[in-house]
Amino acid sequence: MASDLFVSRGGDKLQAAIGNWKLDLGNLVVLDVGSSTGGFVDCLLQNGAGKVYALDTSYGELAWKLRNDPRVVVMERTNILWIPDQDPTGRRVVRDDIGKVDIVTIDAGWTKLELVLPIVKKFLKPNGKIIALLKPHYETEKRNLVKGVVPSELVEQIKNQVLQNIQVLGFKVEKIVDSPILGGAGNQEYLLLIAIS
């Protein structure tokens, strides 16, 4: 779905978190995991990020204006879970392709946060932060969904379990805010500000 300010609604979600938490992204280096069309990437750039690594498993989805922006390093056909291993296309992806970043943003769709976080931790500079979109409908078992939607009585339980899992992995959730926009099927989502504990 479209956004008035960004190339996709993801930008509106991230902007709500940046504004709520009063984050200053000026000249920071960011790794965006699950870029897709580039809503997060667009938002990061509009908030002053100096460089954004746009990483996604897809090919050709990133908006034209972003793939031609000199501040964006396009990393298509790349699954964060396979770094630094060889991906299915045969390309060797190593951590040196990215280096250390100030912030990692995550909207990884079908991939649970507890799988992504230990990997992106390797890319963070000391005192770096992670902004992650928590989507309860992707974190729970499919049997809990009703036409793709998590029943309201389960949302809080799933969210709390994910937060607990994150803590067990050695991270600290410093802040949390409701996404201003529901997920595609009408699911409540949350944005988390995460630090390494």
**DSSP codes, 92-115:** B--GGGT--EEEEEE--TTS-HHH
Q: What is the pLDDT of residue 138?
A: 63
Q: Per the domain annotation, does 134 fall within a domain?
A: yes
Q: Per the domain annotation, does 3 fall within a domain?
A: no
Q: Per the domain annotation, does 177 fall within a domain?
A: yes
Q: Per the domain annotation, does 167 fall within a domain?
A: yes
Residue type, 107: D
CATH code where residue 135 lies: 3.40.50.150
Q: What is the pLDDT of residue 86?
A: 47
Query: Per the omega criterion (within 30 degrees of 0), is the bond before 84 cis?
Result: yes
For 101, the domain range is 9-79+90-196
Average pLDDT taken over every residue of the chain: 86
C-alpha 80/C-alpha 4 separation (Å) is 29
Buried b (16+ CB within 10 A) or exposed e, 100-135: ebbbbbbbbeebebeebbebbbebbeeebbbbbbbb
pLDDT for 41-87, tens place per residue? 999 999 999 999 999 988 999 999 999 999 999 998 888 887 755 45
Q: Per the domain annotation, does 1 fall within a domain?
A: no
Q: Per the domain annotation, does 32 fall within a domain?
A: yes
State mean pLDDT over 82-103: 66
Task: Say how many domains are in the chain.
Answer: 1
Q: How many CA atoms lie within 13 A of 28 on its CB side?
A: 24
Distance of CA 14 to the CA centre of its chain: 9
Distance of CA 49 to the CA centre of its chain: 15
Name the least confident of 11-25, 92-106, 140-154.
140-154
Q: Per the domain annotation, does 2 fall within a domain?
A: no
Q: Per the domain annotation, does 84 fall within a domain?
A: no
